[in-house]
Amino acid sequence: MADNAATAKDLPTVVPEGATGVLVLADGSVIWGHGIGAHGSTVGEICFNTSITGYQEILTDPSYAGQIINFTFPHIGNVGTNLEDNESTTPAARGLILRAEITNPSNWRARKNLDEWLKSRNLIGVAGVDTRSLTRRIRDCGAPIGVICNAMKSDSPDIDAHFSGKFTLNALLNSAKNWPGLAGMDLAKEVTCNQPYNWDETLWKLHDGFNTQNATTRHVVALDFGAKRNILRCLSSAGCKVTVLPATATAEDVLSYQPNGIFLSNGPGDPAATGEYAVPVIRQLIKFGIPMFGICLGHQLLARALGADTKKMHLGHRGANHPVKDVATGQVEITSQNHGFVVDESTLPNGVETSHISLFDGSLEGIRCTDGRPIFSVQYHPEASPGPQDSHHLFDRFIDMIDKANA
């Protein structure tokens, strides 16, 4: 289906034949398509993801809170959905944009068609969009704010009548214009757990699925800013007893568990906003010399606690094919990434150095303390679900730090 664009002053007055979905950007651009998933509209930051696998993990990754995902790979939905590839109980992404229509699944693990799965989780999407054109727009102009609308009701074939009432283009445009954007937004509180819990599930294995373990020698407390389940599985598989605490936990809460290690999880939103309450806690915990490891938002919060600053990126990094270089060894790892903010390398304080850099744009991808403190973090996702497993060794590094500190 051809895309139609319009300015805010010249919105289309006629719905193209067959259109049941639409993307309306805050600048007045209108892109028609076919509605998929749940009926309704949703607003968020439009980002693109270049992964060719793992759409179910991506849609359930809490780090995508506040975002509508434009998938660059055209065949989304071809392996259906299953009961195992969820990174959280409830999807955090606002919606999705696809090139091709959703097809019937062809995979031995499939339990539901993607469209059925989207409906059951109240996720809204639009298919039939020129996602390459939209990706180029994001690349050149930055991530825009937009609204997607699925105006097709399953109980009525009448299409044109659905782009009325709250679904008029003017209403959708106003919704996009009035949304404040991710800068300054604390979304960790929306996706964190409500109360502490223990995690003992280990990594998935073919024919075996997930197993459990009962480690007692290493106790890691994980602060949940939007933790992916596979991160917790990696810690558990590495031989850790894992206790997960809410994002708003205090230093006293963490220390009451007498942890051997502290983990700072991934999550969504602006690290400066979440840092208002998280950074003072992390600073207190650093003083106790307990080994500390951060990923994604956890990396950004740790950097801020150490004295560095963060900033919004032009378009961010999202995909499973991002090359990252280990500065110390020169080794290049292909990584999975999802972040729209980054640590400003020029603000790193004394005693903290860059450990990893992106080979795409040279941005900072990891830090470590050089003054003896057992602290390090990375911007990317070494748990890699979905994606490459080149960086799983970082969990072993964390375990080594814990063992040395408790020798």
Q: How much of the chain exceeds pLDDT 70, in percent?
A: 94
Q: Is 296 among the catalytic positions? A: yes
Average pLDDT, the chain: 93
Q: Evaluate if residue 38 carries a pLDDT over 90.
A: yes
Q: Evaluate if residue 162 carries a pLDDT over 70.
A: no
Q: Would you state the pLDDT for residue 2? A: 38
- Most confident residue range from 103-107, 148-152, 162-166, 282-286: 282-286
Please give the helix or strand (H or E) that residue 305 lies within, else none: helix 297-306
Q: Would you state the pLDDT for residue 5? A: 44
- Mean pLDDT over 371-376 rounds to 97
Q: Would you state the pLDDT for residue 161? A: 43
Catalytic residue from among 57, 333, 365, 383 = 383
Q: Would you state the pLDDT for residue 156? A: 45
Catalytic residue from among 296, 322, 333, 339 = 296
Q: Would you state the pLDDT for residue 214? A: 82
Q: Evaluate if residue 157 carries a pLDDT over 60.
A: no
Q: Evaluate if residue 246 carries a pLDDT over 60.
A: yes
Are 67 and 47 within 8 A, CB to CB? yes
Catalytic residue from among 39, 322, 356, 381 = 381
89 contact partners, CB below 8 Å, separation of at least 6: none
- Mean pLDDT over 39-67 rounds to 96
Q: Evaluate if residue 45 carries a pLDDT over 80.
A: yes
405 contact partners, CB below 8 Å, separation of at least 6: 260, 289, 290, 291, 374
If pLDDT is split at 50, 70 and 90, which confidence band does 18 have? Answer: confident
What beta strand segments (E) does 26-170 contain?
30-37, 40-49, 67-71, 95-97, 124-127, 145-150
Q: Would you state the pLDDT for residue 407? A: 85
Q: Evaluate if residue 164 carries a pLDDT over 80.
A: no
If pLDDT is split at 50, 70 and 90, which confidence band does 67 have? Answer: very high
Q: Would you state the pLDDT for residue 12? A: 83
- Per the DSSP assignment, residues forming a β-bridge with 30 are 24
Alpha-carbon torsion, ordered 149, 152, 153, 159, to 10 deg: 130
All domains of the chain in start order, with CATH: 21-178 (3.50.30.20), 188-405 (3.40.50.880)
- Mean pLDDT over 106-120 rounds to 96
Q: Would you state the pLDDT for residue 158? A: 44
Residues making up the chain, counted from first to last:
407
Q: Is 15 exposed, middle or buried (0-12, 13-18, 19+ CB in 10 A)?
A: middle
Q: What is the pTM of this model?
A: 0.94
Q: Evaluate if residue 154 carries a pLDDT over 50.
A: yes
Structure confidence by residue, pLDDT tens digits, 322-363? 999 999 999 999 999 999 999 999 999 999 999 999 999 999
Pairing of strands 332-344, 352-358: unpaired
Structure confidence by residue, pLDDT tens digits, 21-32? 999 999 999 999
Structure confidence by residue, pLDDT tens digits, 251-275? 999 999 999 999 999 999 999 999 9
Closest CA to 190 of 44, 85, 71: 44
Q: Is 381 among the catalytic positions? A: yes
Residue 253: half-sphere exposure toward Cβ, Cα within 13 Å? 17
Q: Is 383 among the catalytic positions? A: yes
- Mean pLDDT over 269-290 rounds to 98
